[in-house]
Every structure is written in structure tokens, then in C-alpha cells.
Structure 1
Amino acid sequence: MRTVREANRWAAVTGALLLVALASSGCVALLVGGAAAAGAGTVAYVRGELQSTLDAPFDRAWTATVRALGDLGMPVTAQEKDGLSGRITARAAGDRKVTVQLRKVSGTATEVRIRVGTWGDEGASRQILEQIQHRL
């Protein structure tokens, strides 16, 4: 019995130390964030870019994005697209550049990344994302 208890205690201490090491290196946030990002609807604003996973196939998300930008009065100035990813460039008020990148994650999910202006504008990016979701 004593050796089993010692083994359990050693395993618990090792697990706790591993969690502390991961937490201090930022890996826990990465692991938790990565798991959350796998689910549709997750939104993160990182370094001036809004990132989300849409619950829609790539082509449907692409069409919704183009329409959403039009709805918001942001004329599309460029489009680049292949079967797995694409980039739409538009202009917002004040001649700010809007870049929306789409990437096929699976047959039913598409990653979207939105940047407004050089340094990013979280409010405008969220407005674009909401309009895209409305158009899906």
C-alpha cells in the first residue's frame, strides 16, 4: 500500500509542477486557446487582428464577407482566392485599409482574420465580423 501511495503522490507532484511550468511559459494559454479556437464562434483580438472561426464552408464564408463589406459601405479593392484560402482588401471610412483573410479549416469551418488600418481597430473589426455572421 505504501508504494502505491508514494507513486500517486509523486504523480500528483509531477503533474502540478508540469502545470506550473506550462503556465509560466504561456503554453497553458496556448493549449486552452488552441482547443477553444477549434470550436466555431471563438473570437480573439491579437496584435491588431480579430481572429475567429466561422461555422460555414469556405465559399459561403467568402460570399458572406464580400456582401458584408458592401453592406458596411466598404468597397472591395482587391480579391485573391484559391480553393483553400483568400484575401479581400477593402477601404473603410477615412480611407483606412481593411484586410480580411479567410482560410478553409474543414468542410464546415472557415477561419477569418480581420485587420482595419495599420495598427488595427477592434471595434470596426468586430462590426465587420458581426456583419459577416449575419450574412451567413
Structure 2
Amino acid sequence: MRTKHVVVPLLLVAVLLLLQGCMAIALVGVGAGTVMYVKGDLEANLSNDINSVYQAAQLSIEQLDLKVSSKVKDALAAKIVARDAQDKKITIKLKSTAENTTELSIRAGVFGDETKSRLIYEQLLKNLNR
């Protein structure tokens, strides 16, 4: 009986450690819904219309000295591709899901860079909340 009380928690800890890289880490940001980092993409649902998020994304790219390679936008979706100083590709995708709700996806580099993605996301939130 005592062994069971020790083994089960140890197994749970071991599984969590093994799956740590695959787990989606959820945070709640100001003016934002759930934020997750999944398979190299930072994904968030924002309580803002696509035009506001697009403007905040463009301003964030400028403030972080990233160089825009391409950008496209319509009423339903947008995509901005930029490069950082190490020539790594930064992709920001937006999708309007309702009148005042936008899905955001940020990928930094081929395999994803969570730190860079979060820095861009935090800057974008600052610009949205101005």
C-alpha cells in the first residue's frame, strides 16, 4: 500500500518531465484569451478585431527592428513575414474568427523559438493596449 503512494506520484512526475517539450503551456494575458506554445507556434485568441491586431503587429515588428519580407491582409486573414538580425524567418498569421476576436499565430525560425515568439507577442499586446 505504501509503495503505491510513492510509485504513482513518481510515475506522474516522470511522465510530465518526458512530455514537457510537447505540452502546451497556457497563460492568460491582459486583453487576451489563452496563449499556448504548440509545435513551434505561439497561438493566442485576442479580444480585438483583425485590423487592430494587424496594426499592432506591424508596429511591433518595426519597434523590434525586424525587416518585413512580405505582408498580405484582407478582411478575414493576414500574414506578415519578417526576418531578424540572424536572418531567421518570423511569421505572424492572423485570422478573424468573430467581429472582435482574432486568432494569432507567431512562429520564429523553422522549428520555432518560444522566447522570440513570446517577446513579439508581449510587444504586440503592449501596442494593442495603448
Q: Give 1:53 deviation, angstroms.
A: 1.0
Q: Which runs of 5+ in 1 are unaligned?
A: 1-32
1:111 correspondence with 2:113:
no
User: For the residues of structure 2 that align with 1:130 and 1:41, how far apart are their CA atoms?
Assistant: 13
Q: Give 1:81 deviation, angstroms.
A: 1.2
User: For the residues of structure 2 that align with 1:63 and 1:121, how far apart are their CA atoms?
Assistant: 23
Q: Give 1:112 deviation, angstroms.
A: 0.5
Instruction: Check conservation: 1:51, 1:114, Cα contact below 8 A.
Output: yes
Alignment of 1:1-136 (within 5 A): 40-136=32-128
List, as ranges, runs of 4+ consecutive aligned residues in structure 1 with deviation greater than 4 Å: none
Q: Give 1:43 deviation, angstroms.
A: 0.4
SS in 1 for 2:56: helix
User: For the residues of structure 1 that align with 2:79 and 2:115, how far apart are their CA atoms?
Assistant: 20
Tell me the residue number matched to 2:17: none
1:6-35 CA-to-partner distances (Å, cap 9, x unmatched) read xxxxxxxxxxxxxxxxxxxxxxxxxxx9xx
SS in 1 for 2:43: strand
Corresponding letter in the other structure for 1:107: E
User: For the residues of structure 2 that align with 1:108 and 1:48, how far apart are their CA atoms?
Assistant: 26
- TM-score (norm. length: structure 1): 0.70
The structure whose residues are more often helix, as a share, is 1
SS in 2 for 1:125: helix
Instruction: Check conservation: 1:41, 1:54, Cα contact below 8 A.
Output: yes
User: For the residues of structure 2 that align with 1:126 and 1:51, how far apart are their CA atoms?
Assistant: 10
User: For the residues of structure 2 that align with 1:110 and 1:82, how far apart are their CA atoms?
Assistant: 13
Of the two, which has the highest radius of gyration? 1
Q: Give 1:60 deviation, angstroms.
A: 0.5
- TM-score (norm. length: structure 2): 0.73
- Provide the aligned length of Structure 1 versus Structure 2: 100
User: For the residues of structure 2 that align with 1:133 and 1:49, how far apart are their CA atoms?
Assistant: 17
